[in-house]
Amino acid sequence: MGTVLDLYEYPELPHEIQNAKNPDIVERIHREYIEAGSEIIQTNTFSANRLRLEQFRLEDRVKELNQKGVEIARRAAGDNVYVAGSVGPTGKVLEPIGKLKLRQARDAFKEQIETLAGAGVDALILETFVSLTELDEAITAAKEATDLPIIAQKTFPEDGAILSGTFPLEVVEHLLARGVDVVGANCTVGPQRMFSIIRSMYKDGVAMSAQPAAGIPTLLNGRSIYHATPDYLATYARELLQAGVTIIGSCCGSTPAHIRAIRTVLEEFNAQPSVRVKEAPKPRQREQAAAAVPTAEADGSRSQFARNIGKKFLVTVELDIPRGLDMTPVIEGARYLHQYGIDAINVTDGARARLRMSSIAVSYAIQKQVGIEAMTHMATRDRNMIGLQAELLGAHSLGLRNILCITGDPTNIGDYPQATSVFDIDSPGLIRAIRSMNEGKDLMGNTIEGRTSFLIACAVNAMADNMDQEIEKLKKKIDAGTDIIFTQPIYDLRTLETLLNRIQRWNIPLMLGVLPLRGNKHAEFLHNEIPGMAIPREVRDRLRKAGDKAGEAGIDMATEFISKTKKMVAGAYLMPPFKKYEIVPRILDGVGIATKGEG
């Protein structure tokens, strides 16, 4: 429907708005597909759920657009063609990866499905679902709303390992357990890849559907152009039928001409009933495929920092990342600290939304040139879900093993306030992505043909304005798979004790954030101008009274604080101000942690 609406110069999004604006055009397109040989047509309602329509400020028209979509399709279908109510995904990322709650998605699906069913569709087609979790919510909503037949179609990435493996069959078994009537795949891949998926999905006695796209599109003047011809699609339609497909069609990029070609093949196929169905992968192959994925622990690739947790008092130091290309000060700082036995260097990722070199590039340079491990910060602000996972794979291939997951500051406070803040996912979503990779899968559950071995770190602010909210956020991070927690700077024992009491139920190691203060002005600046920072009055008073020796007082307070708390935490996360890295060994010597010349 979208393809032909675009061809007819009705490109306005969402395409469902044409149900109200140009119902005659929508009906004409339905009739063209019916004349080409379609026995089932899909309502023009793919994006007509509340959450998707919100993007166009049309959420108050859910009922109208769905009802009109069914009415138009029914007029075109008459008594001889089935009408399937088309239901697509929400377009949002669901929890626990994203912020959309499962219940919200289910309610949106139910609202749409109740309208479709009430308007008189013959069946429901849940299509183009990347996330199996989201498809589950749509199925649940459908079963709560109606007893109509359900066609459930997942879309698969164009990935040889996935298409030739057993994941498609596992999806089929999952969907059958949910009680759907037809299982299948649509969109994303062209006819040749779709054949590989369906062959892997085949299960004896199961009604299957397949709707491949007309190849992979190119973008021309903002429009997707598809290149698979009707004859080419028809060739693989024959293969799909031989693979056991019950319902066959096509998806993005297909026109009535493609359906006409498929219909011709279908009629020829039905005239030859003794076609042998291809077999699906045997369970033994599935077991072998699973066994071939190495575990992170088995290959010994976990970081030294990860292996030392609980065995020694760990120390990491955050270095200032300068603007531009010259990372010499960073390398020199890391080399200086390495000789004092520091366990890892914290490398920030565009902190305060300021332009700095990639944290992955800097971390790799530190590890390669100095030989000390990095604790690489990664923010979800700048990259979408694809980019984040691509960066993680790249980081792992470069030997980086420690990732501190942060959401990141919005771009409007930084160097480029007009830049886009992505935030596809937040820090719990990033943690879950890394945990999935450590288990050999991406965020959508697709194999990555191996397992990463990242240590997953997260942050907590022990002096947040709303600590109940902060602890709830931390719970989400821990539930997602956090291995160790790094705190924002803390300056008094009571604050640390309160935090430890609130997190003791999780038994997660904690790295204590310590930022030595240079003087009273520094303390007042942090306290009054930096969000999330709170410097106790007694600390600021002590610095003010110290006068010219305030810098020494700041070092003394940091030393005293670590001495009091080192048996309570897993280690210290030091943030020396203004590149004053020389204060680090002074502090650690003061508490008996490091010895000069180590490393």
Residue pLDDT, tens place only, 72-101: 999 999 999 999 999 999 999 888 777 899
The dihedrals phi and psi of 219, each to the nearest 5 degrees, come to -100, 125
Strand order in the sheet with 82-87: 40-42, 82-87, 123-129, 150-154, 182-186, 208-211, 247-248
CB atoms within 10 A of CB 412: 11
- The set of residues, in sequence order, having a beta carbon less than 8 Å from that of 523 and lying 6+ positions away, is 517, 535, 539, 540, 543
CB atoms within 10 A of CB 151: 27
- Alpha-carbon gap, residue 139 to 137, rounded angstroms: 5
pLDDT at 465 exceeding the cut of 90: no
pLDDT of residue 227: 77
Res 453 pLDDT > 70? yes
CA angle, 115 as apex, 113 and 116 as ends, to 5°?
Answer: 65
**Is residue 282 pLDDT above 60, yes or no?**
no
Q: Which two tokens stand for residue 342?
A: 């520091």
**Residue 55 predicted with pLDDT over 70:** yes
DSSP string, 430-447: HHHHHHHHHTTB-TTS-B
Q: What gap in Å lies between CA 448 and CA 55, rounded to an integer?
A: 32
500-553 pLDDT, tens digit per residue, is 999 999 999 999 999 999 988 899 888 888 777 888 999 999 999 999 999 999
Quote the percentage of the chain above a pLDDT of 90.
68
> Mean pLDDT throughout 232-250?
91
User: Tens of pLDDT along 163-188?
Assistant: 555 778 888 999 999 999 999 999 88
Superfamily for the 2-285 domain: Homocysteine-binding-like domain (3.20.20.330)
CATH number of 317-518+555-590: 3.20.20.220
- Mean pLDDT computed over 388-402: 97
Predicted structure pTM score: 0.75
Nearest to 550 by CA among 572, 520, 524, 523: 520
Question: Quick one: pLDDT band at residue 160, thresholds 50, 70, 90?
Answer: very low
Nearest of 455, 473, 467, 518 to residue 496 by alpha carbon: 467
Q: Is it the case that residue 296 has pLDDT exceeding 50?
A: no
Sequence-separated (6 or more) residues with CB below 8 Å from residue 117: 85, 124, 145, 146, 148
Please determine, for residue 308, whether its predicted confidence score (pLDDT) is greater than 90. yes
Higher pLDDT, 3 or 167: 3
Q: What residue type is 415 in one-letter code?
A: D
Q: Where in the chain is the domain with CATH 3.20.20.330?
A: 2-285
User: Could you give the CA distance from residue 468 to residue 498 in angstroms, rounded to a whole number?
Assistant: 12
Is the pLDDT at 554 greater than 70? The verdict is yes
Question: Which residues does 578 contact at the CB level (< 8 Å), separation at least 6?
Answer: 320, 518
Residue 281's φ and ψ, nearest 5 degrees, are: -60, 140
pLDDT (average), residues 113-122: 98
Where residue 220 falls among pLDDT bands split at 50, 70, 90? low
pLDDT of residue 404: 98
CA distance 246 to 249: 10
pLDDT of residue 192: 84
Counting Cα atoms < 13 Å in the Cβ hemisphere of 417 gives: 2
Query: Where exactly does CATH 3.20.20.220 map onto the chain?
Result: 317-518+555-590
